[in-house]
Structure 1
């Protein structure tokens, strides 16, 4: 019998984007339910879950989230120039939502099953072009990764997740890449997607 995966209860933040493990995301917080979420997480040092929105919107009535998301830890916060609260988050483990409920203030909470962290795998020679393309993308679009150690570019999981977040992919494509559990399969899909973005 397969070992049961660890589970926990977390507040959920449905968004129109996907957060990947190790990824960084800046968020503007203004709705009371999400201000409460930030207060709870900073007070207890806990994480919250970010899930892609399948139906609905980021504001107003609770949206329907994708079943697989990523834990987010708050790494920094402060008031932005527009007076709103801004937070910086970092992606942790992925999870599958088992069940959700909506609190009276509209905040979605979920019982989630944590996925194991992907182990490091060397980028195989047939995907050798992908780290080079990623390096170029980081130069122009991903300044937060410019100081990444060279060894990161040898890790199939890191390369795949960074390409997935920097390429202009549709939400369902981002979600598909998040849900893959094999880093080499993820690289294969990205390799097949890349010609779409190459200038003719």
Structure 2
């Protein structure tokens, strides 16, 4: 069991392998964490916030890379993260500087598989969603709309669900439950 220490960023958002998110980093604590990651001191894990918990996130997180950054209008740092690998948070400690360092264990990513049959509706709906949300669309150079895992993970990142409900789907061994959930949601919405 090979564990690894990672710097931990937690937010109310979900980031999964293949996904991208732009986050705002402010203050010396956040900037210090980004600097340590960029200097290669720690890999970076992104976890979905869990209120009043230690560590401050759900146990399943995503190791990610900083793929872009820019200065925002308010002089904060905007960084774009890309999810790479699912990891389980085994433990975490908050350092004196306020940053969290987590002991993690790599988990299996969902395997890529083709979208077929009625599930192609999910892919088409995601493409439409990105067209009306250009800020999200602009994060990606390629959309993998033919891949059921990629499409279902992008839906989990953007659907307005409670974090605990997203975690139920994220903790499945593959994308099938998420695909069925999203398809039922689209069908029920189309019928109303």
TM-score normalised by the shorter chain: which range applies? 0.7 to 0.9
Is 1:148 matched with 2:161? no
Counterpart residue number, 2:184: 192
Structure-2 residue corresponding to 1:28: 24
User: Is the contact between residue 138 and residue 146 of structure 1 (CA under 8 Å) also seen in structure 2?
Assistant: no
Q: Report the alpha carbon displacement of residue 196 of structure 1 after superposing the two structures with TM.
A: 5.6
Shift of 1:191: 1.8
- C-alpha RMSD of the superposition: 2.4
Matched residue, 1:166: 158
1-structure distance, mates of 2:29, 2:140: 35
User: In the alignment, does 2:103 pair up with 1:111?
Assistant: yes
Contact 2:66–2:80 under 8 Å retained in 1: yes
Q: Is the 8 A contact 1:77 1:88 kept in 2?
A: yes
Alpha-carbon distance in structure 2 between the residues aligned to 1:186 and 1:45: 35
| Shift in CA distance, 13/125, structure 1 to aligned 2, threshold 3 Å | same
The TM-score normalised by the length of structure 1 is 0.83
Pick which of 176-185 and 101-110 moved more: 176-185
Q: 1:14·1:63 contact (CA, 8 Å) conserved in 2?
A: no
Distance 1:178 1:31, change over 3 A: farther
What is the number of equivalent residue pairs in this alignment?
190
Offset, 1:82: 0.8
From the superposition, tell whether residues 79 and 156 of structure 1 become closer, same or farther in structure 2 (CA, over 3 Å): same
Q: 2:167 aligns with which of 172, 175, 193?
A: 175
- Offset at residue 193 of structure 1 (A): 3.1
Instruction: Report how far residue 177 of structure 1 moved.
Output: 2.8
Task: Give the SS at the match of 1:104.
Answer: coil
Is 1:17 equivalent to 2:13 in the alignment?
yes
Q: How many angstroms apart in 2 are the aligned matches of 1:125 and 1:45?
A: 46
- Counterpart CA distance in 2 for 1:146 and 1:16 is 21
CA deviation vs aligned residue, 1:65-98 (integer Å, no higher than 9, x gap): 1111111211112221111122111111111111
- Residue 47 (structure 1) aligned to one of 35, 43, 49: 43
Match of 1:94 among 57, 82, 86: 86
Change (3 A) 1:44 1:133: same
Whether 2:37 is the aligned partner of 1:37: answer no
Query: Which shows bigger deviation, 140-149 or 179-188?
Result: 140-149
